[in-house]
Amino acid sequence: MDFDLMITSFPKLLGATVITLKLLSASLFFGLFLGLFFAILRLNKNIFINKFAYGYSYVFRGTPLLVQIFIIYFGLGQIEYLRSTVLWVVLKEPYWCAIIAFTLNTGAYTSEILRSAFQTIKPGIIEAGKSLGISNKIIFYKIQIPIAIRQSLPAYGNEIILMMKGTSLASTVTLMDLTGVAKYIISTTFKPIEVFIVAGGIYLFMTFVIHNVIKYLEKKYSFQQ
């Protein structure tokens, strides 16, 4: 065990954690809206809209995240037309490509989580709202969404942790996130175990924090208060 290496690599890895957290929070933020949008489309009665939303979530859940990042980072740059548009400002940066890929990926999973949450809401609750003369819009925003969010908290907590692990793939498109820096240190020092313990410890700590925050929220918003 090389404890000196563990101590000297800790601040470097901690610095890289900032990028990991930035990637995670940005993709979760955009992904939540995307997921909500597609969950609503999934509940639409129009078969084309419904199938489109299903197709989106099927494709993004059925392919590896690595393929998605590569298509966006390496693939889209190949289209000449894109290079001349404003989009190119975003797409030439690996940082934004990673965020776009993560957002689309987590959006697919989130839409499934939210859809099943919407579907488990008892019809009686919506009927009760209607009989009180509340408009459909307000029933949706004030009754269905809050209940769905509560219902989906445990599954969404898992998704956050999966996404946190997913951000490690940003290192494959040259970003120096926690895994990227860990790989760099491993390949220069050839001490994989020491680096794994430190980097893995940081990841585990983040998992631990996310897990407990979700647990706290679940308790706070539980129905039996």
Partner 1 sequence: MELLAFGKTGWGDELFYATLMTVAVSVTAMLVGFLFALIFTPLKLSKYKILNFVGNFYTTVIRGVPELLVIYLLFFGGSGAIMYVASIFGYYEYIEINAFITGAVAIGIISGAYSTEVFRGAIQSIDKGQFEAAKVLGINKFGQFYKIILPQMLRLAIPNLSNVWQITLKDTSLISVTGLVEIMRQSYIAAGSTRDPLFFYSFAAVLYLMLTYISMKLINKLEVKYSRGY
> Would you say 108 and 61 are in contact if contact means Cβ atoms under 8 Å apart?
yes
Amino acid at 23: L
Note whether 71 binds partner 1 by CB under 8 A: yes
CB atoms within 10 A of CB 59: 12
Span of 94-102, 114-122, 124-132, 184-192 interacting with partner 1 by CB under 8 A:
184-192
Residue with tokens 């998704």: 159
CB contact set of 116 (below 8 Å; sequence gap of 6+): 152, 155
- 87 or 186, CB closer to partner 1? 186
Note whether 213 binds partner 1 by CB under 8 A: no
CA angle 102, 106, 111 (to 5 degrees): 150
Note whether 59 binds partner 1 by CB under 8 A: yes
- 62 or 133, CB closer to partner 1? 62
Question: Minimum distance from CB of 61 to partner 1 (Å)?
Answer: 8
CB atoms within 10 A of CB 66: 13
Note whether 187 binds partner 1 by CB under 8 A: yes
- Residue ranges binding partner 1 (CB under 8 A): 58-59, 62-68, 70-71, 74-79, 161, 164-169, 171-172, 179, 182-183, 186-187, 190, 192-193, 196, 199-200, 203-204, 207-208
